[in-house]
Each structure stands twice: as structure tokens, then as C-alpha cells.
Chains A and B, each alone.
Chain A
Amino acid sequence: MYVAVKGGEAAIDNAHALLAHRRRGDPAVPEVAPAQIAQQLTLATDRVMAEGSLYDPGLAALAVKQARGDLVEAVFLVRAFRTTLPRLGQSVPVDTSAMAIERRISATYKDLPGGQVLGPTFDYTHRLIDFLLEAGAELPPLPQADMKAGAPEPSPRVTDLLGGESLIERETRPDDEAPAPDITRDPVSFPASRAERLQMLARGDEGFLLALGYSTQRGFGRTHPFVGEIRFGEVPVEFVPEEVGFAVPLGSMRVTECQMVNQFHGAGDAPPQFTRGYGLVFGQCERKAMAMSLVDRALRARELGEYSGAPAQDEEFVLSHCDNVQATGFVEHLKLPHYVDFQAELDLVRQLRREHEARRAPEAAE
């Protein structure tokens, strides 16, 4: 039960003023600018864009600054901001095979058309704290390959390579394509469609999805995954405004895609083949894209006749709890005043205690 409580206005004002000063920190240390956060803490802003479900690097960087680096708080700020803007429409689905690739790796094919490029990665670093970064060491020279003349070799999606033998399942694409259902407009009911699941996973909490993906590897709904391909880079985005009636190029955005390929023994009419889980996330969020693809595949357990009750296979459990704005809202609301609820519970416990004592009194007398 909630009852309006007055008082505390001055305390709240002062708390927010204090917050502004603590956010600034020691005035002797230079203030950080959102552009510095966007450029130098890029993976933090990418995570805020992905989970805030809003692509805008400058805005995400400002949110990170405002939230003092609390990324879930920054995601919350971005989600609140989006509610203030009108919806102009839906984009043309982005074509990840047209990506300007900055990183592309495969754990299933060594030599794939277009090759493997590592790009800017933490992989193969030694994970030793680099004190030279603190000392302001010079950067190594920027690596440059000699580019041969002519068009670069295309990099088809790895899942298209074995298509001829249908050893890897194909995605189905309806002839008359309807726009995707939108969970921000129409509430989800269970069972959800794959499109709704993918939208919720794309904006889901990285930590939660990582733990669920990990749980499938440890045996709770095992899916025998291989990374077919991870690619990161810029894709062009197009939108068809009704004013002009053709696809207008809006510019490019950075996305990470993960194609997980999973062993499948076949069931019913379905022959043994590799099945797929998919991850597509704003920004350079490789761990998130991998976790998303593991959980996407795990959530196909019923469709593929392999449901075993593992947490990652439970659609309602996963989708109802993967949104960190919803989760933090409900968990953190517990710190708001519950004085009346608690008073009522206190009275109840006192009464139960009295009844308990009354029952024990005759027993003690015997």
C-alpha cells in the first residue's frame, strides 16, 4: 500500500546538489567531456546503446557521464529519453553481408572467403595491467596493409557456405513480408514469436544473458555450440519516408553479429543438421552478441523438440527477467518508503506473537 508522504524536499535538493559535486570529483582533476567518453570508453557507450535500445553514441556518452559510469543507470536515462521523441517509422532491414568489416572471425572454417581479420580486439592480450597507459606512453605505429588494386574480396555470411548441402539449416523468409512486431508498442504474450524474442534479447542485460548462455554450456540445456562467425563493422541504414517514397540512406551504424552453429541430431521429419542461434547488437558488443545467440538457440528448444526445463530454455523466465531497466526498477523500488506496509506487517507479527504466546502458556502450565 502506498500513501503520499510529504517532507524531505530540502534533503532531496541538497542530495542532488551533492551528487553534482561528487560526480565532478576533485576539481584539481580535469573534467571529462562526453566526446572523450565516446572516443575512449567506446565499449561502455556501446553497451549503453545496446541495452538502452537507442543508437546514438553522443547521447550514450552523455548518459555515462551523468550516471557517473553506472551503466544500468545510463541505460535507464537513454530509455527515458527515447520516450520524448516521435517515431518516424521502421528502417529497411539492415544487410549485414554489406558490412564494412572491422573484425570477422570464424571458429568453424579456417579459410573462408573474405578471410579472417582480428580487428581491434582484447583477444590474445595478456590481461596484464598496462602501467604505460597511466604514464602516457606513445602509441605504436598504426598498422597498414598494402591494399591491392581492385575491389576487395567479398565476405559472405559463413552460414551461406554450406547452403548447397543443407547441412546448416536455412532461415525462412515469408513471401509477403510484414514489418516485425514491436515489443515497445505491443506487450508480449507467451509463447512469443522469434522476432519478439530477438528484440528483447538485443536489448537484454549483458550479464544476465551471459550467465544464461554459460549455463547452457555447463549442461543446463546443452546446445553444442560453435561460433560460425562473428563480424563487427559499419552497416548502412535506410528508411523509406512517405514524403519521398524511396529508401533514403540515413548514414551508417556500428553493429556486432554472431552466428552460432549448433549440433542437432534430428527429430521427427527433420534430418540431422546444424541449427543456428543468432545475435545482432548495436556497437562493438561481442560478448553480448555471443550470449544472445546462445540464448536465442536455447529458446528454440520447444520448436526443435529438445525442451528439458533448463532455465535458458524457459521463454517466460528468460524474457521476463532479461531487461535491466525493468529489473532495477522493481528491485530498487524496495528502498522507497514502505512505512505503511511495514506498519501493517508489524501489527500482524505482534498479533501472531500474542497468539503464539497464548498457545504456549497452557502447554507450559501442564
Chain B
Amino acid sequence: MIEAENDKRNSGDNVAARQRMMALCAGASVADLDAALVALGPLPAVVDLRLPDVGLVMVQGRAGGDGAPFNVGEATVARAAVQVADGPTGFAWHLGRDVAKARLAAIIDALWQDEARRAGVEAALAPVDERLAADAAARAAQTAATRVDFFTMVRGED
């Protein structure tokens, strides 16, 4: 039954929107997610379906960047699974060992899947989106300052 529900929710646009929300939660700090949940107001009861814990994901690369896959090494991943007030199951998997943050993200994932709350969740995460975009732009500008502008010396002999 859960699989059937997953299939229903896994339709194209829904998945892409959920991936965007999950990427924001992965990039956010625990304070960001705390603030987002506070902004969402009083929450229904949260049940931990699995106690948040830490595991490993083997990270793959590709030979030559675009060839056959190979294992580069593992990464620690914190994960959580929660249910909010008999609603959908919320999940989170984040690089690192911050299980408290993963649990907050799983709650946000559960709330996001409730269509009545989705717009509210996305609004609460908007400041995170803005900050991550600003950070990325600042880093890109710093990197761009180190761009090499080659010029060829013209020799005066012809």
C-alpha cells in the first residue's frame, strides 16, 4: 500500500518539486530548519518511524568523468523517517552526521507532502533558498576574480 502511495506521489513534477525542497533542507543549517518549523506554527504530533541514525553511502564517480562507474569512497549520511499526525511519511538523508537536522528535514518532508501545507512549507524555506543562492553567487564571484585572461605578446618583427 505504501508503494502504491509512493507511485502516486512519484509522478514527474511532484518528484522534481520534492527534490528541490529536499536539496534546500540538505543545504540548510539546523537553525534554518528550526526557524522554518517555528514559522509553520504549532505542529501536530510527530512519531519517529525509525530513530534518526547515521549510515554510509558509497559515492560513485565515472572513469574519465563520463565512463563506467567506480567507487570513490564512502560518505557519512544521517537519516530520519517520521510520521506527522497519521499523515504521509517524511524522510530525510543528508551528508554528515547531524541526525537532529535530518529529523527536522523529515518533518518538513512530511508536511510538504500534505498539499494543504505545501505552499506554507515552501514559503518557510524561501529564506534558506535565498541565502544558499547568495552564498553560491558570492563564491562564484570570488572564484571568477581568479580567472586568467590570456593575451599573446605581439612580436614586432613582421
The interface bits of chain A over 265-308 (1 if a CB of B lies within 8 angstroms of the residue's CB, else 0) are 00000000000101011100000000000000000000000000
Q: Is the CB of B70 within 8 A of A198?
A: yes
Q: Is the pair B57, A202 in contact by a Cβ cutoff of 8 Å?
A: no
Q: Is B67 an interface residue (CB 8 A)?
A: yes
Instruction: Decide: A93 near B61, CB < 8 A? Known: A82-B74, A86-B55, A118-B148.
Output: yes
- State whether B59 touches A237 (Cβ < 8 A): yes
Judge whether A90 and B91 touch: CB under 8 Å.
Answer: no
**Contact indicator B77/A115 (Cβ below 8 Å):** no
Nearest-neighbour CB distance to chain B for A354, whole angstroms, equals 56
| Contact present for A241 and B140 (CB under 8 Å) | no
Residues of B within 8 A of A241 (CB): 79, 91, 93
Closest to A233 in B: B143
Contacts of B89 in A (CB 8 A): 243
What is the CB-to-nearest-CB distance from A100 to chain B, in angstroms, rounded to a whole number? 7
Complex-state Cα separation, A252 to B135, whole angstroms: 14
On whether the beta carbons of A91 and B59 are closer than 8 Å, the reply is yes
What are the residues of chain B within 8 A of A281 when measuring CB–CB?
Answer: 72
Q: Which residues of B contact A173 (CB under 8 A)?
A: 62, 66-68
Question: How many A-B residue contacts, CB cutoff 8 Å?
Answer: 239
B93:A87 contact, CB within 8 angstroms: no
Q: Select from chain A the residue with minimum beta-carbon distance to B146.
A: A118
Measured CB to CB, the nearest residue on chain B to A52 is B73
From known contacts A85-B76, A248-B22, infer whether A93 and B62 are also in contact, taking CB-CB under 8 Å. yes
Contact A251:B66 (CB < 8 A) given known A88-B77, A145-B144: no
Segment among B37-45, B94-102, B122-130 that sits at the interface with chain A: B94-102
A195: CB under 8 A from chain B? yes
* A174 interfacial contact with B, CB 8 Å: yes
Cβ-defined contact, B59 with A85, below 8 A: no
**Between-chain CB contacts (< 8 Å), 6 pairs:** A85-B56, A87-B55, A144-B145, A194-B63, A244-B6, A250-B77
14 additional A-B pairs beyond A147-B137, A202-B73, A239-B77, beta carbons within 8 Å, are A58-B97, A89-B57, A144-B142, A171-B66, A173-B68, A180-B68, A237-B75, A241-B93, A243-B91, A246-B15, A246-B18, A248-B22, A250-B95, A280-B72
The 4 closest A-B pairs by CB, nearest first: A171-B67, A143-B145, A145-B144, A53-B73
Residues of A at the B interface (CB closer than 8 Å) are 49-50, 52-56, 58-59, 82, 85-94, 96-97, 100-103, 110-111, 115-119, 142-147, 152, 157, 159-160, 171-174, 177, 179-184, 194-196, 198-199, 202-203, 236-237, 239, 241, 243-253, 255, 257, 259, 276, 278, 280-282
